[in-house]
């Protein structure tokens, strides 16, 4: 939503909006001239909008249908569209390169945009996170016909897009409040894959099994011989995270990644595959990967002081947490790992309670914050305390102010804040404690 707001603002169109809580991002939007408020002001919203024939209202599924502002705008006859519809209309004017998947799409789409913007091809981009290279989630490049976009599977939003080509990073079960079953989720990805252009390609993780009738390239780390793009000999040398890359035509040794992590190595493979498929050479791709600085809240190294390292990450699904902790173990070896995790959504916690416990058990000590509800009402028996009882590592449940007191006592190791809710409010206070 913030990228869309920035897009229309950049076009000289007045933009106003609502958010539930104030964040650094909403503060930045305000500084850029976008009017943001944090209370449901009901019919008073008419003071922020134009005429019904000149105003577009854009909403996300997170907005409750009984929100008084929305009720007023509907009754007044304003044109109301979902975020995905608007994004689909804008990107239809470009050759769109989309990145879909139940996790990994934000970092991968941002990496793809960075690589392309580093080449003569250039690109515009709508991203789901703040690129550390661009310091924004929006990139407008008037000279390029390429558009990079994150394709969101929630509420089947990605069916509004018409990509030229697409990466699909994963189809792990998620959003079961919408899809009800993994089979229905996979079917939605199958239908999405069918939307790519006839001359385009699907770039699929080796574990994704869809769209067999569509031209595709596969990728994976240490994958079998049938996989098209393979990452080999993943390692850390002299502080550099690197791998060898086997493509259908060549072996490229010592490809250095600017962002560490097993999952980021896989993300890089998908970007290499897509870029090569549209004619970008490995000679152009390699230096851009090295220069990629990542995305805010995705394996973000926030602070380092002596023997203490602090990393913040958006992971909110068991598979993503597994990748995160496996990567930390690979990079930091025998260093103690402390995880502060805020579960996101009661429904997701209910669906993956056992899996969350298993993934978090990889840490030496875990602090669970209360579940972040977002758009949901509580579910009886689904709590952080219940999750903690399934774990066999050292675990406690704490409120944010208690978390800060606990972190003060840690003298050595890797501290991770993990989750997609408002746990990001702890990032600056923790940074300040360590620096």
- Residue 334: what pLDDT? 85
Same domain, 77 and 96: no
Q: Categorize the per-residue pLDDT at 156 as very low, low, confident or very high, splitting at 50, 70 and 90.
A: confident
Whether 199 is covered by a domain: the verdict is: yes
Contact 195, 163 (CB under 8 A): yes
Asked if residue 205 and residue 312 are part of one domain, the reply reads no
Among 97-106, 117-126, 297-306, the minimum mean pLDDT is found in 297-306
Domain that holds residue 430: 300-434
Domain CATH for 326: 3.90.190.20
The pLDDT confidence band at residue 104, using thresholds 50, 70 and 90, is confident
* Together in a domain, 100 and 240: yes
Centroid of chain to Cα 27? 21
What total number of domains does the chain contain? 3
Six-digit token pair at 351?
A: 């669906």
Same domain? For 209 and 348 the reply is no
Structural domain contains residue 43: yes
Same domain, 108 and 222: yes
Q: Residue 55 pLDDT > 90, yes or no?
A: yes
Boundary residue ending a domain (291, 310, 343): 291
Q: pLDDT at position 221, please? A: 94
Burial of 311 (0-12, 13-18, 19+ CB in 10 A): buried
Q: Which of 81, 111, 144 is the last residue of a domain?
A: 81
| Residues 10-43 pLDDT 10s | 999 999 999 988 888 899 999 999 999 999 999 9
129 shares a domain with 249: yes
Distance CA 234, CA 262 (A): 8
What's the pLDDT tens digit per position in 288-338?
999 999 888 788 889 998 889 999 998 999 988 998 998 898 888 889 999
pLDDT at residue 302, as a whole number: 92
Pinpoint the alpha helices (H) of 292-425: 318-332, 346-351, 353-360, 384-389, 400-408
- The answer for residues whose C-beta is within 8 angstroms of residue 198's C-beta and 6 or more apart is none
Q: What percent of the chain has pLDDT over 70?
A: 99
Q: How confident is the model at residue 110 (pLDDT cuts 50, 70, 90)?
A: very high
pLDDT value, residue 218: 97
Residue 86, domain member (yes or no): no
Q: What is the pLDDT of residue 34?
A: 97
Residue 268 has a pLDDT of: 97
Residue 18 in domain: yes
223 and 352: one domain? no
Least confident residue range of 115-119, 220-224, 228-232: 220-224
Per-chain mean pLDDT for the chain: 93
> What integer pLDDT is reported at residue 332 of this predicted model?
87
Supply 309's token pair. 């390292």
Based on the domain organization, do 382 and 407 belong to the same domain?
yes
Tell which of 266, 291, 316 closes a domain. Answer: 291
pLDDT band for position 85 (cuts 50, 70, 90):
very high
> For the whole model, what pTM was predicted?
0.80
Three-state SS string over 276-318 comes to HHCCCCHHHHHHHHHHCCCECCECEEEEEECCEEEEEECCCCH
Lowest mean pLDDT among 90-104, 140-154, 291-305, 381-395: 291-305
Q: Are residues 371 and 426 in the same domain?
A: yes
In a domain, 380, yes or no: yes
Q: Is residue 353 part of a domain?
A: yes
* CATH number of the domain to which 157 belongs: 3.40.1190.10
| CA distance from start to end of the chain | 33
User: How far is CA 128 from each of CA 65, 104, 390, rounded to the nearest angstrom?
Assistant: 24, 11, 32
For residue 58, what is the domain's CATH number? 3.40.50.720
Checking DSSP bridges between strand 56-59 and strand 300-305, what pairing results, if any? unpaired
Instruction: Assess if residue 87 is contained within a domain.
Output: no
Q: Say whether pLDDT at 88 is over 70.
A: yes
Which of 63-67, 78-82, 372-376 reaches the highest mean pLDDT?
78-82
Q: Is 379 left (phi over 0), alpha (psi -120 to 50) or beta?
A: beta
Nearest to 421 by CA among 87, 152, 20: 20
- pLDDT-based confidence at 175, cuts 50/70/90? low
Identify whether residues 151 and 61 lie together within a single domain.
no
**Domain-embedded: residue 379:** yes
Structure tokens at 422: 């408002």
Residue 288, class by beta-carbon neighbours within 10 Å (0-12 exposed, 13-18 middle, 19+ buried)?
buried
Residue 178 has pLDDT above 80, yes or no: no
Residues 305 and 254 in one domain: no
User: Residue 176 pLDDT more than 70?
Assistant: no
Both 368 and 246 in a single domain?
Answer: no
């Amino acid at each position: 939503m913030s990228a869309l707001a920035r897009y229309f603002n950049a076009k000289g169109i007045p933009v106003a909006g609502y958010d539930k809580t104030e964040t650094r991002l909403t503060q930045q939007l305000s500084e850029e001239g976008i009017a943001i408020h944090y209370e449901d002001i009901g019919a008073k919203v008419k003071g922020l909008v134009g005429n019904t024939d000149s105003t577009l209202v854009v909403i996300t599924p997170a907005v409750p249908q009984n929100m008084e502002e929305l009720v007023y705008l509907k009754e007044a006859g304003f044109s109301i569209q979902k975020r995905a519809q608007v994004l689909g209309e804008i990107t239809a004017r470009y050759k769109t390169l989309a990145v879909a998947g139940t996790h990994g799409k934000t970092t991968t789409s941002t990496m793809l945009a960075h690589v392309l913007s580093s080449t003569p091809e250039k690109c515009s981009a709508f991203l789901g996170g703040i690129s550390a290279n661009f310091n924004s989630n929006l990139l407008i490049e008037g000279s390029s016909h390429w558009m990079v976009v994150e394709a969101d599977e929630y509420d089947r939003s990605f069916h509004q897009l018409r990509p030229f080509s697409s990466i699909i990073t994963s189809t792990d079960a998620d959003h079961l409040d919408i899809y009800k079953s993994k089979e229905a989720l996979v079917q939605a990805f199958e239908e999405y894959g069918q939307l790519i252009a006839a001359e385009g390609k699907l770039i699929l993780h080796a574990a994704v099994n869809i769209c067999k009738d569509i031209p595709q390239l596969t990728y994976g780390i240490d994958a079998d011989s049938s996989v098209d793009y393979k990452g080999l000999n993943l390692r850390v040398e002299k502080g550099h995270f690197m791998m060898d890359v086997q493509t259908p035509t060549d072996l490229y040794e010592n490809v250095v990644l600017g962002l560490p992590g097993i999952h980021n190595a896989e993300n890089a493979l998908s970007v290499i595959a897509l870029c090569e498929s549209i004619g970008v050479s490995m000679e152009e791709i390699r230096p851009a990967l090295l220069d990629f600085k990542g995305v805010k809240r995705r394996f973000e190294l926030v602070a380092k002081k002596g023997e203490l390292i602090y990393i913040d990450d958006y992971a909110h699904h068991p598979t993503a947490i597994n990748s995160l902790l496996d990567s930390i173990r690979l990079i930091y070896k025998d260093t103690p790992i402390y995880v502060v995790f805020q579960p996101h959504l009661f429904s997701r916690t209910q669906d993956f309670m056992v899996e969350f416990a298993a993934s978090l058990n990889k840490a030496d000590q875990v602090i669970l914050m209360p579940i972040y509800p977002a758009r949901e009402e509580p579910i009886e028996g689904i709590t952080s305390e219940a999750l903690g009882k399934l774990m066999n590592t050292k675990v406690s449940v704490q409120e944010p102010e208690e978390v800060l007191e606990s972190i003060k006592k840690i003298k050595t190791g890797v501290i991770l804040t993990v989750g997609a809710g408002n746990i990001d409010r702890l990032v600056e206070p923790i940074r300040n404690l360590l620096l």
